[in-house]
Every structure is written in C-alpha cells, then in structure tokens.
Structure 1
Amino acid sequence: MPKQFFQSWLPSPEKVASMKFMRIFGKRSLNPVLWYINRKSISKAVFIGTFWGILPIPFHTALIVLTVLIMEVNLPVSILLAWLTNPLTLAPILLGAFWIGSQIYQVNMIDQDMLLGVLHQMTHWVTNMGQGHVDLSLAKILLSGLIVEALFFSVLFFLMTRLFWRFSIIRQWKKRTITADKPLDD
C-alpha cells in the first residue's frame, strides 16, 4: 500500500533530472538507488527533507540533494519536504525555535523591545558599512532552537513514516489471511 501510494504521485526520474538546478549534479541524479521506494529509503528521505526543510536557510534544496546523493535515499520525497518552510509555516517555526532556544539558554522569551533593539543595532551596522556592534545572542538562541526543532521533527516524522509503513503492511497481511481463510462458495 505505501509503495503504491508513493509511486502514484512521485515524478519520474527523467522529469526531476531535467530540472535546471538538478543539471548541476549530472548523471548522479539518475542513480536508480535515488528512486527506490521502500521503507528504509522513504523514511530516511523524510528525515533528511524534514531536517533541512525546517531550517530557513538559503539553498536548502541544494543541501537536501547533496545529503541525498551522499546517503543514497529517495530524492523526490526529500525535495518535496524542502518546502516545509514557507510563508505560512515560517512564523510558527521561528517562534518555536525562539522558545526552544530560550529554554536551552534559560532566558526569558524574546519580547518586542529586545527585537526592536536588535533591529536598531542591525540597521545601524548596515548604514555604517559594518562598523558598530550587533548583539548575536538572539542569533545563538534562534540557531540552537532551530537545530533542536529540526532534529525533533525529523526524528518524529521518520518514526511516523516507519510506523505508518509497518501498520499498512500488517493490515495488508491481515486482509490476505482473512480472504485466504474464507471458504469459496459453490
């Protein structure tokens, strides 16, 4: 069941390999291992895609592709999960990361005055061509929170994928044994 589900909506290897940014990776993107649909490949792809997808960094799709090429897991699933960070999800992701980071460093949650102060420091730094001081403590809090959040959701989605796959296989086997045990009508 899960295999048929993924095969029904995943694009073909040729279609993904023909994308402009995929041409950078050449023939490596056509490696058949990157297109396998099995429990291990899909769950690892979910882990990679979720981890890099939650981090709102530039070129996270390229980082996903590099990681997939190194680990040889399903490429399309990982790329699809790259878009977890979008304008609708960015605010909750960042708010959660700030909360987690503030718990790690045992500081109060970031308030409006603190954010305005950092914004003022950054604009002063930019207008003075890099001269001045920028407090990077917020960046440390945010980055730590983002990494922990990305790891948490990656492991969670990895385990959920494994459990879903296992549950669907068990359900298929039960259906098979029920129909096999059913007597044939004359």
Structure 2
Amino acid sequence: MPASRYARRILPHPDTLSQTKGLRWLGNYLAPRPWLWVAHRRRVAMGVAVGLAVGVIPLPTQMVVAAIAAIACRANVAAAVAATWLTNPFTLVPIWSLAIALGRMASGHHGPVATPEMLDIDWSAPLSWGTTLMAWISNLGPPLLIGLPLAGLLLGAIAYLVVYLGWWAVIRGERRRRLRQRARQSTPGSKC
C-alpha cells in the first residue's frame, strides 16, 4: 500500500476532529485548509521536523505549540503533533546530552556541567524535590539554554531529510515494483 494512501487511512478527517470535544477548534480550522492535513511528502517531512524541533524544548503544551508552528510553516499538522511524542522520558537523556554538548560548543563553556551525582534529592522531603531539581537545572545554565534550540534545529533537519528521503525511496520502490509487474504481464507466454 502506498504511503500516502496509508497515511490518509490512519489520519482522522477534519470533520471528525470538528466533532471531537477539545479538538473542535483544530477541525474547524483545518476543514477549509486541506493543505495543512494532506499526506504530501514535503508537508509531512516539514511537519515531523517542526514537531521534533518543538518537542525537544521542554514545554508543558508541546502539541499545541507544534500545531501552531506547523500552521505557520504550512506543514502537516498531524505529523507535527505526532513528532512531539518522540521526545519522552526514555529519549530525554540522549536529547539533553546532545543539547548540552551543542550548547557547550556554541557558548564556549568549559566549566563543570551539572551531573546526576550533583542532583542531591532528599527523598524524605517531597516538597523540596522541585526546588532541588530547579537548582540542578539552573546549574546547567547556558549550555542547556543555548543547546536545546540548537538540538531542536539539528534533530528537526535530520528528521526532515529522513522522512523526505524515506518517502521518496518508498515511492521509487513502488514504481519499480509496478513496472516489473507490468513487464511480467506483457511478456508472451507468462502466466498470470
């Protein structure tokens, strides 16, 4: 099954979204703007890139921000929202490590960076957990603040290339398969 047909099958229609509580605004906005929802190679690749770039930065409303950024970039909104799910507690450590490394390179920071050993949480006092975590994050300082947007841009660009080239390869493989199938059917003496 071609990728665009598969994407059309799994994506909800804007009319369905406009009838869903909480997503009504999105469905009403997308209905007259089908280019924001269509499964097109460039738009989906841009949506994934935007979603991943926004998803790297720790925001409480990543999906809403990704949807708004996708609308501004004329990218696929569903792909942008889904791409924010790639950043989760399991991928947080590698992404933040990349962000800190990029931030250190960009800012020229050579001092110590907060390590997990520096995160001294008093587990018997739950009210102190938040302040301890915030103090630890502030010790990360410039490398993290500079590195998160850089990591978002880098991962977004890589995601764009992977999705775009992957989609292109699937389409090319499907065309080759159809051409081989037609060639077999058109040769004399071949059984169908």
Q: Which residue of 1 aligns with 2:166?
A: 164
Deviations 1:38-91 (A, max 9, x none): 111111111111111121112121111112222332221111112222222222
Q: CA RMSD in A?
A: 3.1
Q: Which structure has the highest helix share of the two? A: 1
- Cα 1:150–1:19 change in 2 (3 A) is farther
- TM superposition score normalised by structure 1: 0.78
- Cα 1:93–1:16 change in 2 (3 A) is farther
Deviations 1:9-30 (A, max 9, x none): 2223233344444334572132
Measured in 2, the distance between the counterparts of 1:181 and 1:3 equals 25
Amino acid at match of 1:170: R
Q: State, as a whole percentage, how many aligned pairs show the same letter.
A: 23
How many corresponding residue pairs? 176
Measured in 2, the distance between the counterparts of 1:76 and 1:18 equals 17
Measured in 1, the distance between the counterparts of 2:116 and 2:39 equals 50
- TM superposition score normalised by structure 2: 0.75
Measured in 2, the distance between the counterparts of 1:75 and 1:65 equals 5
Amino acid at match of 1:3: S
Amino acid at match of 1:51: A
The 8 Å contact of residues 51 and 153 in structure 1, kept in 2 or not, is answered as yes
- Cα 1:167–1:38 change in 2 (3 A) is same
Q: Which residue of 2 aligns with 1:101?
A: 103
Deviations 1:90-116 (A, max 9, x none): 222222212221222232451449955
Q: Which residue of 1 aligns with 2:71?
A: 69
Shift of 1:144: 1.1
Q: Which residue of 2 aligns with 1:155?
A: 157
Measured in 1, the distance between the counterparts of 2:170 and 2:64 equals 32
